Amino acid sequence: MDISSLNGYHSTVTLRLTQMRSQFTDLQRQLGTEQKSETYGGLGGKRGLDVALRSRLTEVQSWQNTIDHVGLRLDIAGQTLERVTDIALEVADAADPNSFDVLPNGLTTGQNIAHASLAELVGLLNTDVGGRYLFGGRKVDDDPVAKVDPLLKGDGTRAGFNQVVEERRQADLGPTVAAGNLGRLDVSSAGTTVTVAEDGAHPFGFKLEGVNSTLSNVTVTGPAGSPATMDVDFAGQPATGETIRVFFTLPDGSDTDIELTVGDGVEEGTFALGATPADTAANFEAALTDTLATTAATTLRSASAMAAADNFFNTTSGTEPQRVDGPPFDTATALVDGGATTIEWYQGDNTADDPRAGVTARVDDSLSVSYGMRANEEGLVNVIKSVAVYATQTFTAGDDIDEERHAALAERVYDELADQSGSNTLRSLVVEVATMTYTVDRAEQRQVAMAGTLTEAVEGIEGVNLEEVAAKLLGLQTLLQANYTTMARMADMSLTNYI
């Protein structure tokens, strides 16, 4: 080999060694990173597909991040609503009309359970996840429900629930007369005729609805008119054992009735025959007045408390709490907006649209989940108002009237909390949240599967077979060693060695 050929060979081998060294370094990188190339350009004709797959994978991962946040909020909301449901049932069980064990604080054992449950309810409805309150609709940065003390007692300038209940009590029971408060009814007589009349056209007290009489020789007229009036005319004497039954609508929308029977006039619910029809009418008037006073102090007062709870807590779609237009309250004839003078128990978003629409999250290309919730939704309001009423009415031990009033209140609270039928109940809200959770879970399953498929496709383009790379690296290392040895020997050659 002549010198020029040797020099050419040397240059060729050097270039080859440089290329092999570069290839060796790249194989080492592949072995360490498990990636074919550091740039898309190194992927050849599949680089366009790889870019598209990675873009789609990033999109899917963003859905997964959203699903993680939404799923957590729905899980906590579901747990919260389950606890609210448990509280409703616990208080319903505690509201026993047959138990009147009044403690020194004026509450029964069941009421003390309700008082503790009210505080827990407020805490539950103020649940937040990562600083976002779940039951405030669009307003997610502050407690949606007022604290228990101002909610019940007011804040010094605005009235709380207790004051609203007291004002409504006065308005429903009406002025005190000789026999007591008669629930805004006037009872009077003229000769043989006894007249029962509502004292005005207003939403308070008893509302005459009907009468059913078996009294012979007695003419009953009405109820009729607005305000309603009813006349009972004793044209003659009825017979012992005959009855008259008067039906009323109460402030909370429920019904009640009173029944009077011709009897000895001593036993409760009876009136005695007099010497003349006019005397019998007077006896009937006295018995009716006493019975109305007792019913007003028990059944009507319990219904009044429930009506006040409706006035205070039913504030959906931007409506304000309702207050009795007074003072004076015992002769009031209307309710007025109390927003400026009354604690707003619910302080979250209170627009007229669907609560679910308040918070929406996209969890897929074509799927959004609306999961907004408000503490003033009907199902939740029914629970908190019933618990609040039962927790705040006080009683006196050994008082027969109070015992009867407690029984009437406990029955109302039980009916409100135990009955979860209908489309706007707590149970329906629990079902809605469960359905949303199921939807999000299914979306998550789809996104996980899609992410797995995309990741596998990207790895197929960008990734390497480590065993294959290792084999190539080992072969290249052997070849490099051989070439380096050859070059080393050539470097040691001299003219003396050549000769």
Q: Is the pLDDT of residue 419 over 80?
A: no
Closest of 470, 499, 430 to residue 24, by C-alpha: 470
Q: Exposed, middle or buried by CB within 10 Å (0-12, 13-18, 19+), for 307? A: buried
User: Tell me, what's the pLDDT at 210?
Assistant: 97
Least confident of 14-28, 29-43, 294-308: 29-43
Number of C-beta neighbours around residue 348 at 10 A = 26
- Band of pLDDT at residue 3, cut at 50, 70 and 90: low
User: What average pLDDT does the segment 132-144 reach?
Assistant: 93
Closest of 355, 218, 207 to residue 280, by C-alpha: 218
User: Tell me, what's the pLDDT at 357?
Assistant: 87
Strands 218-224 and 367-370: unpaired
Residue that wins the pLDDT comparison between 66 and 32: 66
Residues 6+ apart with CB under 8 A from 391: 107, 111, 114, 115, 117, 118
Closest of 120, 117, 138, 136 to residue 128, by C-alpha: 136
DSSP string of 74-132, one letter each residue: HHHHHHHHHHHHHHHHHHHHH--TT---B-TTS-BHHHHHHHHHHHHHHHHHT-EETTE
Contacts 24+ apart (CB under 8 A), 108-112: 108/395, 108/406, 110/390, 110/410, 111/390, 111/391, 111/393
- Band of pLDDT at residue 87, cut at 50, 70 and 90: very high
| Mean pLDDT (the chain, rounded) | 87
* CA dihedral of residues 292, 297, 299, 302 (deg, nearest 10): 150
Q: Exposed, middle or buried by CB within 10 Å (0-12, 13-18, 19+), for 139? A: middle
> For residue 3, how far is the Cα from the chain centroid?
95
Q: Is the pLDDT of residue 34 over 60?
A: no
Q: String of b and e for 251-271 (b: at least 16 CB within 10 Å)?
A: bbebebebebbbbeeeeeebb
Give the C-alpha separation, 21 to 206, whole Å: 102
256-270: pLDDT as tens digits: 999 999 999 999 999
Residue that wins the pLDDT comparison between 150 and 463: 150
User: Tell me, what's the pLDDT at 488?
Assistant: 66
381-401: pLDDT as tens digits: 999 999 999 999 999 999 999
User: Tell me, what's the pLDDT at 45?
Assistant: 60
Number of C-beta neighbours around residue 196 at 10 A = 24
User: What average pLDDT does the segment 343-354 reach?
Assistant: 89
400-416: pLDDT as tens digits: 999 999 999 999 999 99
User: Tell me, what's the pLDDT at 452?
Assistant: 84
- Band of pLDDT at residue 420, cut at 50, 70 and 90: low
Residue that wins the pLDDT comparison between 2 and 439: 439
182-237: pLDDT as tens digits: 999 999 999 999 999 999 999 999 999 999 999 999 999 999 999 999 999 999 99
**Alpha carbon of 226 to those of 12, 168, 330, 333: distances in Å?**
117, 22, 20, 14
In the Cβ-directed half-sphere of 141, how many Cα atoms lie within 13 Å?
A: 0
- Band of pLDDT at residue 23, cut at 50, 70 and 90: low
User: Tell me, what's the pLDDT at 8?
Assistant: 55
* DSSP H helical ranges for 246-315: 277-295, 301-313
Residue that wins the pLDDT comparison between 318 and 426: 426
User: What average pLDDT does the segment 367-372 reach?
Assistant: 89
pTM above 0.85, yes or no: no
User: Tell me, what's the pLDDT at 484?
Assistant: 66
Q: Is the pLDDT of residue 28 over 80?
A: no
CB 96 within 8 A of CB 110: yes
User: What average pLDDT does the segment 57-69 reach?
Assistant: 84
Give the C-alpha separation, 230 to 210, whole Å: 9
- Band of pLDDT at residue 489, cut at 50, 70 and 90: low
Give the C-alpha separation, 282 to 157, whole Å: 49
Kind and range of the H or E run holding 461:
helix 426-462
Residue 197 bridge partners (DSSP): 186, 229
Give the C-alpha separation, 477 to 434, whole Å: 62
Give the C-alpha separation, 169 to 162, whole Å: 11
**What backbone torsions phi and psi does residue 139 show, to the nearest 5 degrees?**
-85, 100
Q: Is the pLDDT of residue 40 over 80?
A: no
Residue that wins the pLDDT comparison between 453 and 195: 195
Least confident of 8-17, 75-84, 201-210, 435-444: 8-17
Q: Is the pLDDT of residue 461 over 80?
A: no
User: What average pLDDT does the segment 116-130 reach?
Assistant: 95
Least confident of 43-57, 237-251, 361-375: 43-57
Q: Is the pLDDT of residue 4 over 60?
A: no
